[in-house]
Amino acid sequence: MAKKELQVSAIENGTVIDHIPSKCVFDVMNILEVKKLDNAVTIGYNLSSEKLGRKAVIKIWDKFLENEEINKISLIAPMAKINIIKDYDVVEKKTVEVPQAVEGIVKCMNPKCITNHENIKTKFTVVGKDPIVLKCLYCDKLTDQENMEMI
């Protein structure tokens, strides 16, 4: 079967993060600190997807994600697929995995939590994985996926 034309052109070496729900792509870019990168980055936004309807793709030249970065992505886009590209070929596929603990990425949804009033690094334990539910180490309140806000 002939290869379909790519909506975002291929990269030679680096990482492709695919199947990101469109609305999450800016959060994913924040997590990866794309702003600070010198690497070439191409982003596809609102691409058509059979699974998601609209999806986003991020392709980063010459960058290979740390496990911690992948874990962070899992919080906002658990269905994302990560492909490692070498010489235009996919050499490794990674699925994202939800970590046991989450520090400093997510805001506690409890407005009366001390972390929302002082400059404190948030800390959560993951008490539910599908959907993701986080328990704040400070106020003990739960933050669910629907209300999850990135810092």
Partner 1 sequence: MNTGSIVSIEDLSKEQIMEILEIAREFEKNPNQRLLEGKVAASLFFEPSTRTRLSFETAINRLGGRIVGFTDASTSSVTKGETLKDTIKMVDNYADLIVMRHPLEGAARYASEVAKVPVLNAGDGANQHPSQTMLDLYSIYKTQGTLENLSICMIGDLKYGRTVHSLVQAMSHFHPTFHFISPESLSMPESYKIFLKKLNIPFYEHKDLDSIINEADILYMTRVQKERFADPLEYEKVKNVYILKKSMLEGTKDNMRILHPLPRVNEISIDVDDSPKAYYFEQAKNGVYAREAMICRALGLK
The amino acid at residue 61 is W
Of 93, 120, 125, 149, the one binding partner 1 (CB under 8 A) is 120
Q: Is 133 helix (H, G, I), strand (E, B) or coil?
A: strand
Bridge partner list, 54: 48
The reply to whether 5 sits near partner 1 by the rule CB under 8 A is no
Strand order in the sheet with 101-103: 101-103, 123-129, 132-136, 142-144
**DSSP assignment string, 74-111:** HHH-TT-EEEEEETTEEEEEEE----SEEESSEE-S-T
The reply to whether 134 sits near partner 1 by the rule CB under 8 A is no
Query: Taking the complex as a whole, how short is the minimal distance between the CB of residue 120 and partner 1, in angstroms?
Result: 6
Backbone torsions φ then ψ of 25, nearest 5 degrees: -65, -35
| Closer to partner 1 by Cβ: residue 81 or 141 | 141
Query: Taking the complex as a whole, how short is the minimal distance between the CB of residue 147 and partner 1, in angstroms?
Result: 15
Query: Taking the complex as a whole, how short is the minimal distance between the CB of residue 100 and partner 1, in angstroms?
Result: 18
Which of 34, 8, 17 lies closest to 96, judged by CA? 17
Of 110, 126, 145, 150, the one binding partner 1 (CB under 8 A) is 110
Choices 9-17, 37-45, 92-100, 116-124 (CB under 8 A): range interacting with partner 1: 116-124
Instruction: Please report, as ranges, the residues that interact with partner 1 according to CB under 8 A.
Output: 110, 112-115, 117-120, 136-142
